[in-house]
Structure 1
Amino acid sequence: MTWGTVELEPEVRDWLERLPTAQFATAAFYVDLLAEQGPLLGEPYTRQLDGKLRELRFHLEGRAVRVTYWIAPGRRVVLLTVFAKTRMREAAEVSRARRALARCLTESHTVGEGEGDDGDG
Protein backbone atom coordinates (compact mmCIF):
# COMPACT_ATOMS: atom_id res chain seq x y z
CA MET A 1 0.00 0.00 0.00
CA THR A 2 1.34 3.42 -0.93
CA TRP A 3 1.32 6.28 1.56
CA GLY A 4 1.44 9.00 -1.10
CA THR A 5 2.73 10.15 -4.46
CA VAL A 6 6.25 11.17 -5.43
CA GLU A 7 6.99 14.29 -7.46
CA LEU A 8 10.38 14.97 -9.03
CA GLU A 9 11.98 18.34 -9.43
CA PRO A 10 13.83 18.58 -12.79
CA GLU A 11 17.27 18.00 -11.22
CA VAL A 12 16.23 14.67 -9.71
CA ARG A 13 14.33 13.57 -12.83
CA ASP A 14 17.35 14.33 -15.04
CA TRP A 15 19.71 12.50 -12.66
CA LEU A 16 17.48 9.40 -12.59
CA GLU A 17 17.20 9.36 -16.39
CA ARG A 18 21.00 9.36 -16.73
CA LEU A 19 21.59 6.44 -14.36
CA PRO A 20 22.59 3.04 -15.75
CA THR A 21 19.81 0.46 -15.41
CA ALA A 22 21.15 -1.29 -12.28
CA GLN A 23 21.70 2.01 -10.45
CA PHE A 24 18.28 3.27 -11.53
CA ALA A 25 16.71 0.11 -10.07
CA THR A 26 18.48 0.70 -6.75
CA ALA A 27 17.43 4.36 -6.61
CA ALA A 28 13.86 3.45 -7.59
CA PHE A 29 13.73 0.88 -4.77
CA TYR A 30 14.48 3.58 -2.17
CA VAL A 31 12.14 6.13 -3.75
CA ASP A 32 9.38 3.49 -3.76
CA LEU A 33 10.12 2.72 -0.10
CA LEU A 34 9.67 6.42 0.67
CA ALA A 35 6.40 6.50 -1.31
CA GLU A 36 5.13 3.48 0.63
CA GLN A 37 6.00 4.73 4.11
CA GLY A 38 6.07 8.51 3.75
CA PRO A 39 6.89 10.29 7.01
CA LEU A 40 7.04 6.96 8.86
CA LEU A 41 10.25 5.97 7.06
CA GLY A 42 13.08 6.74 9.45
CA GLU A 43 16.78 6.14 9.87
CA PRO A 44 18.88 4.73 8.37
CA TYR A 45 16.85 5.44 5.20
CA THR A 46 15.98 9.07 5.90
CA ARG A 47 17.18 11.88 8.12
CA GLN A 48 15.89 15.35 8.92
CA LEU A 49 18.18 18.11 7.67
CA ASP A 50 16.38 21.28 8.68
CA GLY A 51 12.71 21.90 9.45
CA LYS A 52 10.65 20.27 6.68
CA LEU A 53 13.78 19.40 4.69
CA ARG A 54 14.81 15.73 4.81
CA GLU A 55 17.17 13.44 2.90
CA LEU A 56 16.72 9.96 1.48
CA ARG A 57 19.96 8.04 2.07
CA PHE A 58 21.34 5.11 0.07
CA HIS A 59 24.44 3.87 -1.75
CA LEU A 60 25.10 3.38 -5.47
CA GLU A 61 28.16 1.26 -6.21
CA GLY A 62 29.71 2.06 -2.83
CA ARG A 63 29.06 5.79 -3.10
CA ALA A 64 26.77 7.49 -0.58
CA VAL A 65 23.95 9.32 -2.37
CA ARG A 66 21.50 11.77 -0.85
CA VAL A 67 18.20 12.88 -2.38
CA THR A 68 16.66 15.80 -0.53
CA TYR A 69 12.90 16.01 -0.20
CA TRP A 70 9.99 17.40 1.75
CA ILE A 71 6.54 16.10 2.59
CA ALA A 72 4.07 18.41 0.86
CA PRO A 73 0.33 18.78 1.50
CA GLY A 74 -1.87 16.15 -0.11
CA ARG A 75 0.37 13.19 0.83
CA ARG A 76 3.03 14.23 -1.68
CA VAL A 77 6.76 13.59 -1.40
CA VAL A 78 8.67 16.17 -3.46
CA LEU A 79 12.23 15.13 -4.38
CA LEU A 80 14.25 18.34 -4.60
CA THR A 81 17.97 17.80 -5.20
CA VAL A 82 20.52 14.99 -5.40
CA PHE A 83 24.18 14.87 -4.41
CA ALA A 84 27.00 12.50 -3.57
CA LYS A 85 27.65 12.59 0.16
CA THR A 86 31.00 14.02 1.22
CA ARG A 87 31.85 15.79 4.46
CA MET A 88 33.28 18.81 2.67
CA ARG A 89 30.25 19.40 0.42
CA GLU A 90 27.35 18.60 2.72
CA ALA A 91 26.76 22.11 4.14
CA ALA A 92 26.70 23.64 0.65
CA GLU A 93 24.37 20.91 -0.63
CA VAL A 94 21.97 21.35 2.29
CA SER A 95 21.89 25.10 1.60
CA ARG A 96 21.13 24.38 -2.06
CA ALA A 97 18.32 22.03 -1.02
CA ARG A 98 16.90 24.72 1.30
CA ARG A 99 16.78 27.11 -1.67
CA ALA A 100 15.01 24.47 -3.79
CA LEU A 101 12.46 23.92 -1.02
CA ALA A 102 11.89 27.67 -0.67
CA ARG A 103 11.37 27.94 -4.44
CA CYS A 104 8.82 25.09 -4.35
CA LEU A 105 6.93 26.73 -1.51
CA THR A 106 6.97 30.14 -3.21
CA GLU A 107 5.85 28.76 -6.56
CA SER A 108 3.30 26.35 -5.02
CA HIS A 109 4.43 23.50 -7.27
CA THR A 110 1.84 20.91 -8.16
CA VAL A 111 1.94 17.66 -10.10
CA GLY A 112 2.38 18.15 -13.84
CA GLU A 113 3.82 21.65 -13.88
CA GLY A 114 6.47 22.27 -16.49
CA GLU A 115 9.84 23.82 -15.77
CA GLY A 116 8.84 27.15 -17.26
CA ASP A 117 5.29 27.11 -15.93
CA ASP A 118 4.49 30.07 -13.71
CA GLY A 119 1.38 28.38 -12.29
CA ASP A 120 -1.06 30.85 -13.88
CA GLY A 121 -2.41 28.62 -16.55
Structure 2
Amino acid sequence: MIYNETDGEEYKIRYYADIRTGKSPVRAYIKSLPPKDRAKVYKYIELLRASEGYLSEPYSKHIDGKIRELIVDFARNRHRIFYFIFIKKTIIMLHAFLKKTPQTPPGEIKKAKENYLNILKG
Protein backbone atom coordinates (compact mmCIF):
# COMPACT_ATOMS: atom_id res chain seq x y z
CA MET A 1 0.00 0.00 0.00
CA ILE A 2 1.26 3.50 -0.81
CA TYR A 3 -0.03 6.89 0.37
CA ASN A 4 -0.15 9.86 -2.01
CA GLU A 5 1.58 13.01 -0.83
CA THR A 6 1.72 15.18 -3.93
CA ASP A 7 -0.16 15.12 -7.20
CA GLY A 8 0.65 16.76 -10.48
CA GLU A 9 2.52 16.31 -13.69
CA GLU A 10 5.97 16.24 -12.11
CA TYR A 11 7.53 13.70 -9.78
CA LYS A 12 5.33 12.57 -6.90
CA ILE A 13 6.21 11.61 -3.35
CA ARG A 14 4.49 8.56 -1.91
CA TYR A 15 4.93 6.79 1.38
CA TYR A 16 5.12 3.04 1.89
CA ALA A 17 2.37 1.76 4.19
CA ASP A 18 2.29 -1.64 5.88
CA ILE A 19 -0.38 -3.78 4.21
CA ARG A 20 -1.46 -5.26 7.58
CA THR A 21 -1.86 -2.01 9.49
CA GLY A 22 -2.29 0.55 6.69
CA LYS A 23 0.19 2.78 8.52
CA SER A 24 3.22 4.44 7.01
CA PRO A 25 6.37 4.23 9.15
CA VAL A 26 7.86 7.30 7.44
CA ARG A 27 4.76 9.43 7.94
CA ALA A 28 4.59 8.35 11.60
CA TYR A 29 8.27 9.19 12.07
CA ILE A 30 7.92 12.64 10.51
CA LYS A 31 4.76 13.36 12.50
CA SER A 32 6.61 12.53 15.75
CA LEU A 33 9.33 15.14 15.10
CA PRO A 34 9.49 18.59 16.71
CA PRO A 35 8.03 21.27 14.39
CA LYS A 36 11.38 22.69 13.24
CA ASP A 37 12.78 19.24 12.45
CA ARG A 38 9.56 18.31 10.65
CA ALA A 39 9.73 21.48 8.54
CA LYS A 40 13.32 20.75 7.51
CA VAL A 41 12.45 17.14 6.61
CA TYR A 42 9.56 18.31 4.41
CA LYS A 43 11.83 20.93 2.82
CA TYR A 44 14.34 18.21 1.88
CA ILE A 45 11.58 15.92 0.61
CA GLU A 46 10.38 18.74 -1.65
CA LEU A 47 13.96 19.32 -2.82
CA LEU A 48 14.19 15.61 -3.61
CA ARG A 49 10.93 15.74 -5.59
CA ALA A 50 12.01 18.84 -7.50
CA SER A 51 15.33 17.17 -8.40
CA GLU A 52 13.49 14.09 -9.71
CA GLY A 53 14.83 11.87 -6.94
CA TYR A 54 18.51 12.46 -7.55
CA LEU A 55 20.40 14.56 -5.05
CA SER A 56 24.12 14.21 -4.46
CA GLU A 57 25.90 14.24 -1.13
CA PRO A 58 25.47 15.82 1.37
CA TYR A 59 21.71 15.51 0.70
CA SER A 60 21.46 11.92 -0.48
CA LYS A 61 23.54 8.83 -1.09
CA HIS A 62 23.20 5.38 -2.59
CA ILE A 63 22.62 2.54 -0.11
CA ASP A 64 21.99 -0.67 -2.05
CA GLY A 65 20.40 -1.55 -5.38
CA LYS A 66 17.75 1.08 -6.09
CA ILE A 67 17.54 2.22 -2.47
CA ARG A 68 18.93 5.64 -1.59
CA GLU A 69 19.12 7.60 1.66
CA LEU A 70 17.84 11.16 2.12
CA ILE A 71 20.10 12.90 4.63
CA VAL A 72 18.50 15.57 6.83
CA ASP A 73 20.80 16.96 9.51
CA PHE A 74 19.27 19.57 11.80
CA ALA A 75 21.04 20.80 14.92
CA ARG A 76 22.20 17.57 16.59
CA ASN A 77 19.57 15.39 14.96
CA ARG A 78 20.54 13.23 12.00
CA HIS A 79 17.33 12.12 10.29
CA ARG A 80 17.53 9.51 7.53
CA ILE A 81 14.82 8.45 5.09
CA PHE A 82 15.31 5.55 2.70
CA TYR A 83 13.59 5.87 -0.67
CA PHE A 84 13.63 4.66 -4.25
CA ILE A 85 12.37 5.89 -7.59
CA PHE A 86 9.44 3.86 -8.89
CA ILE A 87 7.47 3.90 -12.13
CA LYS A 88 5.60 6.92 -13.46
CA LYS A 89 7.81 9.53 -11.83
CA THR A 90 7.11 8.33 -8.30
CA ILE A 91 9.52 8.54 -5.36
CA ILE A 92 8.54 6.13 -2.60
CA MET A 93 9.67 6.79 0.95
CA LEU A 94 10.37 3.42 2.57
CA HIS A 95 11.70 3.84 6.09
CA ALA A 96 12.94 6.61 8.42
CA PHE A 97 15.03 6.73 11.55
CA LEU A 98 17.24 8.94 13.71
CA LYS A 99 20.87 8.08 13.01
CA LYS A 100 22.96 7.85 16.17
CA THR A 101 26.14 6.16 14.92
CA PRO A 102 28.65 6.98 12.15
CA GLN A 103 27.65 3.90 10.14
CA THR A 104 24.10 3.25 8.97
CA PRO A 105 22.79 0.40 11.17
CA PRO A 106 22.27 -2.81 9.15
CA GLY A 107 18.88 -3.34 10.84
CA GLU A 108 17.60 -0.04 9.44
CA ILE A 109 18.76 -0.96 5.93
CA LYS A 110 17.08 -4.36 6.33
CA LYS A 111 13.75 -2.68 7.18
CA ALA A 112 14.00 -0.49 4.07
CA LYS A 113 14.79 -3.53 1.90
CA GLU A 114 11.83 -5.45 3.33
CA ASN A 115 9.49 -2.54 2.58
CA TYR A 116 10.96 -2.26 -0.93
CA LEU A 117 10.34 -5.96 -1.57
CA ASN A 118 6.78 -5.68 -0.21
CA ILE A 119 6.08 -2.98 -2.80
CA LEU A 120 7.52 -5.06 -5.62
CA LYS A 121 5.40 -8.06 -4.57
CA GLY A 122 2.32 -5.85 -4.81
**TM-score normalised by L of structure 2:** 0.79
Contact 1:3/1:37 (CA < 8 Å) preserved in 2? no
- Using a 3 Å threshold, how does the CA distance of structure 1 residues 33 and 89 change in structure 2: closer, same or farther? closer
Post-superposition, which runs of at least 4 consecutive aligned residues in structure 1 deviate over 3 A? Answer: none
Identity within the alignment, %: 26
Backbone CA RMSD of aligned residues: 1.7
2:5 aligns with: none
Tell me how far apart the structure 2 counterparts of residues 58 and 29 of structure 1 sit (CA, whole Å): 9
Which runs of 5 or more structure 2 residues have no equivalent in the other structure?
1-8, 17-23
Number of aligned residues: 106
Find out whether 1:30 has 2:44 as its counterpart.
yes
Find out whether 1:5 has 2:12 as its counterpart.
yes
Find out whether 1:94 has 2:109 as its counterpart.
yes
Tell me how far apart the structure 2 counterparts of residues 62 and 15 of structure 1 sit (CA, whole Å): 17
Bigger fraction of residues in helix? 1
Amino acid at match of 1:82: A
Find out whether 1:80 has 2:94 as its counterpart.
yes
Tell me how far apart the structure 2 counterparts of residues 17 and 39 of structure 1 sit (CA, whole Å): 22
Which runs of 5 or more structure 1 residues have no equivalent in the other structure?
108-121
Partner residue of 1:64 out of 62, 66, 78: 78
